[in-house]
Chains A and B, each alone.
Chain A
Amino acid sequence: MTARCSRSLQCLSIFARSTKSKVAPHRTYSSAAPANARLNLPVDFSSTPILHQSSKSILANPELPESVRKNSKTTRTNLFQAVNSALRHALSTDDRVLLFGEDVAFGGVFRCSMNLSTDFGSERVFNTPLCEQAIVGFAIGCAAEGMKPVAEIQFADYVYPAFDQLVNEAAKMRYRAGGTGMDCGGMVVRMPTGSVGHGALYHSQSPESLFTHIPGLRVIIPRSPSQAKGLLLAAIASPDPVIFMEPKVLYRAAVEQVPNDPYTLPLDKADILKTGQDITVISYGTPLYHCSNAIEAAEKDFGVSCELIDLRTIYPWDRKTVLESVSKTGRAIVVHESMVNAGVGAEVAATIQEGAFLRLEAPVQRVCGWSTHMGMAYEKFNIPDVVRIYDSIRKVAHY
């Protein structure tokens, strides 16, 4: 293996020295940005304004409780560590919290539950058989009897076997039980979501719009480690069942200062990441990083000023913040990775059309995944990248 690796590295370097070399080039499964690319460059997580690069910056967040802002130390943390920290806090402060799913006990395939089984016992943090409908059904039953289960679905792509349990059971339990007061509000279903570069059909999906059609469920997608920690703790505390979708490409990539103390963030508020006057860009999760880069380039090139909004809570969602913004700017772009057809963008665009019609100066744009599946080799053409968002800003600005 080592020999093979070094040989291939060698031939790569030969290839780099001379493109005219007779040695056939090896193709790696992912390629870097083209040499002349100006827009579609990899996200620089160490400088992006989406992440809190300094402890001063995160502690200035007015959403954090006063005590955390004043007294908490912070640590540079990636997203999987932030999830782990939230879970650790929940497990240590409330014995009703349970954590389970496929391969959770050894730390999870994305390391989110590292050391939790060892520290809190195999009765509270455990593996389940490989059966999504059983995992969610089990969680509903636990929650219905007063526990606070945090169930993990290994990839959002595999949540469909549990769809019946989520849609017909979890979402409707409080409603159908009515005055008896029975519900499964204590449950959270976590799942890694979104593209990851090479996940192809079944390790890339973003099925959030399937859940936003279901009254009774809360759908949350954090954009960063500090958001993941606060929103996950709020989800566990919530009296409603929550679908908590973690952008898996950010698990290791997104690193920022995160307060060590526990805190919650609101489950019904969008977050204005950057204020602007001319165009509102609305997104959530990973594409926010691309939006940020596209806005930076577009503001320079077109002299426009963009407002960037992170929905955070995908359903029920903060319509007020979005409508106020669009009423100010008169132009809106919605960006998400999942397919455009009947996606979250359709709901947001229709709401804007209804609530800010007289202020609109251009049609609402949707920059989303195409209405196709995530074919292995085509991902970079399928996700809303910097170019497509930049181009959408150009179109809206010049409409």
Chain B
Amino acid sequence: MSARLSGTLNCVRRSTAVRSTSSTTALRSNSQTWRRWQSISQRPGSDRVHFPGAVNSRFTTSLNFQGTSADSAMPTYRILDQDGIVVDRNRAPLDVTDDQALRWYKDMLTVSIMDNIMFEAQRQGRLSFYMVSAGEEGIAVGSAAALLPDDVIFAQYRETGVFQTRGFTLDDFMSQLFANKHDSGRARNMPVHYGSRKLNIHTISSPLATQIPQAAGAAYALKMQDAGNPDRPLDKRRVVACYFGEGAASEGDFHGALNIAATRSCPVIFICRNNGYAISTSTLEQYRGDGIASRGIGYGIDTIRVDGNDIFAVREATARAREMALRDGGKPVLIEAMSYRVSHHSTSDDSYAYRAKVEVEDWKRRDNPITRLRKWMENKGVWDEAKEQEARSRIRKEVLGAFAKAEKEKRPPLRAMFEDVYAEMTEEAEGQVQQLKDVLKRYPNEYDLGDYDGGLDGLEKKPR
């Protein structure tokens, strides 16, 4: 924290010093604006007029409405086929070491095994809620692997692999899921709403798409700070990655975010997980355009569609997007990663109420990011059934160990219910703490305080 602060102060001082530079940039972008405005008139004989709203549009005399067609859908970038074989034999060799592949594989496997255990735990009533990432582990792990630790992340909720890859520990996951006193979110959020300042991932919130314009703003902040810090080399400058599903992309915040990110030239990578469903709503009821990718172009944002079941393709696209996002003073990039939501939407959902089980089984069996990478590793001879069994049982043991530990821990002190609403607790809140304390004292049999650290005393103000 103090390092961050001094970094900020540094940048503050420096950017005062380099104001002349930044005002040069300002002038440049101003003159671009002026170019749009100065040449409104039509030159004699020109085949186009410079309307300020579309500066280089040719006239046409044929009355054609431009439309979309299924045939012209944006292609999907892939490296591996379903058997884990590199499709383009002429491409440059993959810049992936065996160690990297093994690490990503284990990250995906960990998420998948934890998902199964926690889903069952919820079914047993030991957890209030859970959401698995089945089928989408490759998008989360592959993209996170392409980012630097200083890059800031905003997630939706189905990106457990991002946390895993960044270094969130099994204890961190379990503390949050069980809302115990070690949860960095202080037991205030529903399960799966992880967050970590240390790992530069903002705490997940339930309202969909709200994180998208926030990511644009955060990217603008990073751009300003890095611009004021000339010691930071270009490739070490920071970007923001922002994840959301194709359903969330229907929210107004998606529109506002992409537009403002483009107009303010924010170094942000928008990563859409298009998994075919938003709870029960299929994409046919979600949109009629060519997915989410086609919209990026409309906002003036460079866009790619990738095979989300191909972790190498996701990683390579994200790495390239990261470079592009930092180029030319910064700009947003959109990645639409295609996948299939193999699981139910959440533990509160039975997806067989709106889709055929056979469809799900098909995806599970035929194509899946984990098996695809496994096949690639097996083809290379760095993985086999024995290693698979060993890894699975070890990870399972580790997850269950963290599970058992976290489940036993107490919840935070009750005072945490009132703290952090404001930086300092208000006089009103202090009064309400006393009112609650009074009730708890006079009706001791009506409340179980044993779960909470310190019991009734946990309401007292402690030096933090």
Residues in chain A within 8 A of chain B (CB atoms): 94-96, 98, 121-124, 126, 128-129, 131, 133-147, 149, 161, 164-165, 168-169, 172-183, 185, 215-216, 218, 239-240, 268, 316, 319-320
Please name all residues of chain B whose beta carbon is closer than 8 Å to the beta carbon of A320 when the two chains form the complex.
427
Please name all residues of chain A whose beta carbon is closer than 8 Å to the beta carbon of B255 when the two chains form the complex.
131, 134
Can you pick out 22 interface pairs between chain A and chain B where the beta carbons lie within 8 Å of each other?
Answer: A122-B26, A123-B224, A129-B259, A129-B260, A131-B256, A131-B260, A133-B213, A134-B259, A140-B214, A141-B240, A143-B217, A146-B8, A146-B225, A164-B253, A174-B423, A178-B187, A178-B188, A182-B197, A183-B423, A239-B422, A268-B427, A316-B426
User: B193 near A141 (CB under 8 angstroms)?
Assistant: no
Kindly list 10 other residue pairs between chains A and B, CB separation below 8 angstroms, not including A123-B224, A133-B253: A123-B25, A133-B256, A136-B213, A137-B214, A137-B253, A138-B220, A140-B214, A141-B240, A179-B183, A180-B197
Which B229-274 residues sit within 8 Å CB-CB of chain A? 240, 252-253, 255-257, 259-260, 263-264
B461 within 8 Å of A (CB atoms): no
Please indicate which of the listed interface residues B12, B214, B257 has the most CB atoms of chain A within 10 Å of its own CB.
B214
Known A123-B22, A123-B224, A319-B427: A176·B203 in contact at CB below 8 Å: yes
Known A141-B218, A177-B185: A134·B260 in contact at CB below 8 Å: yes
How many pairs, one residue from A and one from B, have CB atoms within 8 Å of each other in the complex?
A: 192
Surface stretch bound by A, among B54-62, B204-212, B445-453 = B204-212
In whole Å, how far is A266's beta carbon from the nearest beta carbon of chain B? 13
User: B184 near A179 (CB under 8 angstroms)?
Assistant: yes
User: B257 near A134 (CB under 8 angstroms)?
Assistant: yes
User: B256 near A179 (CB under 8 angstroms)?
Assistant: no
User: B422 near A168 (CB under 8 angstroms)?
Assistant: no
User: A121 near B259 (CB under 8 angstroms)?
Assistant: no
B428 within 8 Å of A (CB atoms): yes
Please name all residues of chain B whose beta carbon is closer than 8 Å to the beta carbon of A94 when the two chains form the complex.
12
In whole Å, how far is A320's beta carbon from the nearest beta carbon of chain B? 7
User: B210 near A141 (CB under 8 angstroms)?
Assistant: no
User: B212 near A137 (CB under 8 angstroms)?
Assistant: yes
Please name all residues of chain B whose beta carbon is closer than 8 Å to the beta carbon of A123 when the two chains form the complex.
22, 25-26, 224, 227
Main secondary structure of the interface of B (DSSP, over half): helix
Partner of A142, one of B25, B221, B421, B426: B221
A143 to B216, CA, bound (A): 12
Chain B, residue nearest A147 (CB): B221
A177 to B219, CA, bound (A): 19
A94 to B240, CA, bound (A): 24
User: B184 near A134 (CB under 8 angstroms)?
Assistant: no
Chain A, residue nearest B213 (CB): A137
User: A121 near B218 (CB under 8 angstroms)?
Assistant: no
Chain A, residue nearest B7 (CB): A146
Chain A, residue nearest B20 (CB): A121
User: B152 near A145 (CB under 8 angstroms)?
Assistant: yes
User: B423 near A319 (CB under 8 angstroms)?
Assistant: no
B420 within 8 Å of A (CB atoms): yes
B228 within 8 Å of A (CB atoms): yes
Chain B, residue nearest A145 (CB): B221
Please name all residues of chain B whose beta carbon is closer than 8 Å to the beta carbon of A173 when the two chains form the complex.
203
A174 to B12, CA, bound (A): 24
User: B420 near A141 (CB under 8 angstroms)?
Assistant: no
In whole Å, how far is A311's beta carbon from the nearest beta carbon of chain B? 14
A168 to B210, CA, bound (A): 9
User: B188 near A176 (CB under 8 angstroms)?
Assistant: yes
In whole Å, how far is B94's beta carbon from the nearest beta carbon of chain A? 34
Please name all residues of chain B whose beta carbon is closer than 8 Å to the beta carbon of A98 when the two chains form the complex.
220, 224
A146 to B1, CA, bound (A): 11
A136 to B255, CA, bound (A): 14
Known A141-B220, A145-B152: A122·B29 in contact at CB below 8 Å: yes
User: A95 near B253 (CB under 8 angstroms)?
Assistant: no
A268 to B185, CA, bound (A): 28
Known A172-B205, A240-B423: A138·B11 in contact at CB below 8 Å: no
Please name all residues of chain B whose beta carbon is closer than 8 Å to the beta carbon of A124 when the two chains form the complex.
224
Please name all residues of chain A whose beta carbon is closer than 8 Å to the beta carbon of B11 when the two chains form the complex.
95
Q: List 10 tightest A-B contacts by C-beta distance, closest first.
A: A141-B217, A137-B213, A134-B256, A178-B186, A141-B214, A138-B217, A145-B221, A239-B423, A141-B218, A131-B256
A142 to B202, CA, bound (A): 12
B308 within 8 Å of A (CB atoms): no
Known A95-B15, A134-B259: A175·B253 in contact at CB below 8 Å: no
Please name all residues of chain A whose beta carbon is closer than 8 Å to the beta carbon of B103 when the two chains form the complex.
none
Please name all residues of chain A whose beta carbon is closer than 8 Å to the beta carbon of B8 when the two chains form the complex.
96, 146
User: A182 near B195 (CB under 8 angstroms)?
Assistant: yes
User: B205 near A169 (CB under 8 angstroms)?
Assistant: yes
In whole Å, how far is B218's beta carbon from the nearest beta carbon of chain A? 4
Known A94-B12, A123-B26, A168-B210: A141·B184 in contact at CB below 8 Å: no
In whole Å, how far is B171's beta carbon from the nearest beta carbon of chain A? 14
Chain A, residue nearest B299 (CB): A129
A144 to B263, CA, bound (A): 20
User: A180 near B203 (CB under 8 angstroms)?
Assistant: yes
Please name all residues of chain B whose beta carbon is closer than 8 Å to the beta carbon of A142 when the two chains form the complex.
217-218, 220-221
B313 within 8 Å of A (CB atoms): no
B30 within 8 Å of A (CB atoms): yes
In whole Å, how far is B233's beta carbon from the nearest beta carbon of chain A? 20
Please name all residues of chain A whose beta carbon is closer than 8 Å to the beta carbon of B264 when the two chains form the complex.
126, 128, 138
User: B195 near A180 (CB under 8 angstroms)?
Assistant: yes
In whole Å, how far is B31's beta carbon from the nearest beta carbon of chain A? 11
A138 to B219, CA, bound (A): 9
In whole Å, how far is A165's beta carbon from the nearest beta carbon of chain B? 6
User: A95 near B260 (CB under 8 angstroms)?
Assistant: no
Please name all residues of chain B whose beta carbon is closer than 8 Å to the beta carbon of A319 when the two chains form the complex.
427-428
A210 to B259, CA, bound (A): 28
Partner of B19, one of A121, A138, A149, A215: A121
User: B185 near A181 (CB under 8 angstroms)?
Assistant: no
In whole Å, how far is A234's beta carbon from the nearest beta carbon of chain B? 13
User: B195 near A121 (CB under 8 angstroms)?
Assistant: no
Please name all residues of chain B whose beta carbon is closer than 8 Å to the beta carbon of A179 when the two chains form the complex.
183-186
In whole Å, how far is A190's beta carbon from the nearest beta carbon of chain B? 16
Which B165-209 residues sit within 8 Å CB-CB of chain A? 183-189, 193, 195-198, 202-203, 205, 207
A215 to B188, CA, bound (A): 15
A399 to B257, CA, bound (A): 56
In whole Å, how far is B12's beta carbon from the nearest beta carbon of chain A? 4
B222 within 8 Å of A (CB atoms): yes
Chain B, residue nearest A122 (CB): B26
Please indicate which of the listed interface residues A123, A124, A169 has the most CB atoms of chain B within 10 Å of its own CB.
A123
A126 to B23, CA, bound (A): 13
A147 to B4, CA, bound (A): 12
User: A138 near B195 (CB under 8 angstroms)?
Assistant: no
Please name all residues of chain B whose beta carbon is closer than 8 Å to the beta carbon of A149 when the two chains form the complex.
217
A139 to B154, CA, bound (A): 15
In whole Å, how far is A28's beta carbon from the nearest beta carbon of chain B? 36
In whole Å, how far is A76's beta carbon from the nearest beta carbon of chain B? 31
User: B253 near A134 (CB under 8 angstroms)?
Assistant: yes
B393 within 8 Å of A (CB atoms): no
User: B259 near A131 (CB under 8 angstroms)?
Assistant: yes
Please name all residues of chain A whose beta carbon is closer than 8 Å to the beta carbon of B16 when the two chains form the complex.
95
Please name all residues of chain A whose beta carbon is closer than 8 Å to the beta carbon of B12 when the two chains form the complex.
94-96
In whole Å, how far is B26's beta carbon from the nearest beta carbon of chain A? 4
